[in-house]
Amino acid sequence: MLNLAITLLVIALIAGVLGFGGIAGSFMGAAKILFVVFLVLAILSFVSGGMRRGQI
């Protein structure tokens, strides 16, 4: 999922450089949403893994 977010970010940057403002904005929005989802899932994974081991 992080790879997809980074890919969308790169596409948005390239589109922004080439002057496609609307497309760049939509890709940037999608990249932000996927990055936040990735962070939430990563935090949940770390917390649940720590709970299983009895560290939390």
Confidence of residue 55 (pLDDT cuts 50, 70, 90): low
Residue 36 covered by a domain: yes
Residue 31 covered by a domain: yes
Residue 56 covered by a domain: no
Residue 43 covered by a domain: yes
Q: What does the chain look like in DSSP terms, one character per residue?
A: -HHHHHHHHHHHHHHHHHT-HHHHHHHHHHHHHHHHHHHHHHHHHHHHHHHHHT--
Give the domain extent around 7.
2-48
Sign of the torsion formed by the C-alpha atoms of 3, 28, 9 and 38: negative
Question: What's the rounded mean pLDDT across residues 5-14?
Answer: 83
Tokens at 42, concatenated: 């990563």
Residue 54 covered by a domain: no
pLDDT tens for residues 29-47?
A: 888 888 899 899 889 988 8
Split into its structural domains, the chain has a count of: 1
Q: Name the pTM for this structure.
A: 0.65
Residue 15 covered by a domain: yes
Residue 53 covered by a domain: no
